[in-house]
Amino acid sequence: MRTRVRFAPSPTGPLHMGGVRTALYNYLYAKQHGGDFIIRIEDTDSHRFVPGAEKYIIDSLRWCGIIPDEGVDENGNVVETASPKHPHAPYRQSQRRGIYRKYAEELVAKGYAYYAFDSSESLENERKEAESKGETFIYNYESRKNLRNSLTLPEEEVKKLLQETTDWTVRFKMPENTVVKMDDMIRGHIEVNTATLDDKVLWKRADELPTYHLANIVDDHLMEITEVIRGEEWLPSLPLHYLLYQAFGWKDTQPRFAHLPLLLKPVGNGKLSKRDGDKMGFPVFPLNWLNSDGETYHGYREDGYFPQAFVNMLAMLGWNPGTEQELFSMQELIDSFSIEKVSKSGAKFNPDKAKWYNKEYLRMTSDSELAEEFIPILDENGVTADKEKVEAVVALIKERATFVKDFWGICSYLFKAPQEYVQKDVDKFWKPENVGMAFEAMENTADAASMEEYIRAHEMPMGKVMNCIRLALTGASSGLGIADIMRFIGRDEALSRLKAAREKLG
């Protein structure tokens, strides 16, 4: 059987990095098995729909290099019309609404589901009443016996209500006191007694839409999904999903399930949230997102991360190859990934590790590519330099940077004379006797090498003189080696910076 997995996001907001990881693991699994990775948009909950979220999700995956085989076309649009490449279109559940009713009705006919006519007000009253007794109201195998549904009302009345009213639903008839036996590719065997489960709504007459559970099972079946790889938050739904496959008579083709561990906050316990990101200053989302309240959520892309570094870091959050290897290209991830090696327990996110990955990828990126990225930044700072020079600069500084955006701060003085001098360095190194020696050494030599020789030959204090020169050249006493700096700016520019410093600092 051909492997077919899907990522099935609901467009209820920007995709959290945990969601990207779910998509990534699905993608890796599909590619490793020579199968298909499908995108399906689960947008049947119109109350939670957020404009722009679908595009954000697709753009995020594209940025990461997670390219679907089916469901989204080359231009990043969700496919609406069936074709050989996209046989199950439309891939947006809201556009598939016509499909689901008959499945809901089929379950009623077979006795696995029933019609429920309780108004939202009457259910609200039940809830309040239970609350006043310190209990919680659950629509389940017990309470359904006293509620208004096709199990309790006379047949004639049911027929009438179905025809004349529009706020009824189809609910799953959870079997009484039955143990559901399940298998998870990560967690192993699981058993749950149905007594703890409620009669979930599957379909709503009011908007003629299925709920998540029905649409999800029907579509996974129709789309011939072989493995469902999704977040741990869906584990409580697994018994219902098992029972739905059984009720439909689809046991033979039921997909296997894998529930991925949560991403945890860097300190303490609990799920990684946007708030942790705000507090500790790291991104939790792949791309920037402008929220409806005007707040911008930070994205890895805009914060300067390479998509490969982000993907590599995410892959390792909850999975490890069982070796020491930490750096993986996408192809290497495809080759080494295995669901069985995904951990059961939550994966603690470490923002420093994310930076470490970026630093490693920056190092591995060619000088030429880095120069291409740096040139626009130079432009913004009013510097025009030819590519060859920029490449040489990049080669010199890349080990010191984590992001390309660090470059300018590290080496601006290779392109522009410093405008300011760090005061504590001035206090420490800009002493009249050192300044005098610095001038003498530079004026009497043609380059950094001979200048060093001169200082040595004249028994001047090397450290003091050099720091004085460095201060004049860069504005501070730290930075690149003087020989490197002078190679870039030339001896004449160096001398003029020394003069400028004397004018400003005395």
In 3-state terms, the chain is what percent helix, strand and coil (to 5)?
50, 10, 40
Q: How many residues bind ligand GLU (CB under 6 A)?
A: 9
Name the minimum Å distance from CB 12 to ligand GLU.
7
Cβ proximity to ligand GLU, 212 vs 374, nearer residue: 212
Figure out which of the listed residues 234, 248, 356, 403 binds ligand GLU, where binding follows CB under 6 A.
234
DSSP codes joined into one string, 216-276: HHHHHHHTT--EEEEEGGGGGGHHHHHHHHHHHT-GGGPPEEEEEPPEEPSSSSSB--HHH
Gyration radius of the chain over CA positions: 32
- Please identify, using beta-carbon distances, which residue of 241 and 265 lies nearer to ligand GLU: 241
Letters for 451-480 (x = contact with ligand GLU by CB under 6 A, - = none) are ------------------------------
The piece of 7-15, 144-152, 173-181, 246-254 that touches ligand GLU (CB under 6 A) is: 7-15
Among 8, 316, 342, 437, binds ligand GLU (CB under 6 A): 8
In the 3-class helix/strand/coil scheme, how is 404-433 assigned residue by residue? HHHHHHHHHHHCCCCCCCCHHHHHHHCCHH
Catalytic residue check, 344:
no
DSSP string, 363-409: HHS-HHHHHHHHHHHHHHTT----HHHHHHHHHHHGGG-SSGGGHHH
**What is the CA 335 to chain-centroid distance, rounded?**
21
**Which window, 3-11, 57-65, 188-196, 386-394, contacts ligand GLU (CB under 6 A)?**
3-11
Distance CA 114, CA 312 (A): 47
Point out the catalytic residue in the list 200, 274, 359, 398.
274
**What's the min distance (Å) between Cβ of 355 and ligand GLU?**
29
Of the candidate spans 4-12, 125-133, 305-313, 429-437, the one that interacts with ligand GLU by CB under 6 A turns out to be 4-12
Bridge partners of 227, per DSSP, are 5, 256
Q: Considering only residues 173, 230, 359, 470, which one is a binding residue for ligand GLU as defined by CB under 6 A?
A: 230
Q: Which is nearer to ligand GLU, 148 or 230 (CB)?
A: 230
Instruction: Please report, as residue ranges, which positions from 42 to 101 form the binding site for ligand GLU (by CB under 6 A).
Output: 42
Q: Which of 9, 68, 318, 346 binds ligand GLU (CB under 6 A)?
A: 9
Q: Which residues contact 216 (CB under 8 A, 6 or more apart)?
A: 8, 42, 241
Q: Which stretch binds ligand GLU (CB under 6 A): 8-16, 51-59, 118-126, 397-405?
A: 8-16
Which range, of 156-164, 199-207, 226-234, 451-459, touches ligand GLU by CB under 6 A?
Answer: 226-234
Q: Which is nearer to ligand GLU, 263 or 404 (CB)?
A: 263
Site string for ligand GLU, 185-214 (x = CB under 6 A): ---------------------------x--
> To the nearest whole angstrom, how small is the minimum distance from the Cβ of residue 26 to ligand GLU?
9
Q: Could you tell me if 421 and 475 are in contact, meaning their C-beta atoms sit under 8 angstroms apart?
A: yes
According to the binding rule CB under 6 A, does residue 255 interact with ligand GLU?
no
376 upstream amide cis, omega within 30 of 0: no
What's the rounded Cα separation, in Å, for the pair 38 and 58?
Answer: 12
Q: Show contacts with ligand GLU in window 333-392 (CB under 6 A).
A: none
Cα 152 to Cα 155, 361, 466: the distances in Å are 9, 65, 93
Structure tokens at 327: 């750096």
CB 435 within 8 A of CB 462: no
Closest to ligand GLU by CB, 92 vs 144, is: 92
Residue 45 vs 493, nearer CB to ligand GLU: 45
Q: Are 212 and 284 in contact (CB under 8 A)?
A: no
CA 205, CA 224: separation in Å to the nearest integer? 27
Active site residues: 274
Residues that bind ligand GLU (CB under 6 A): 8-10, 42, 212, 216, 228, 230, 234
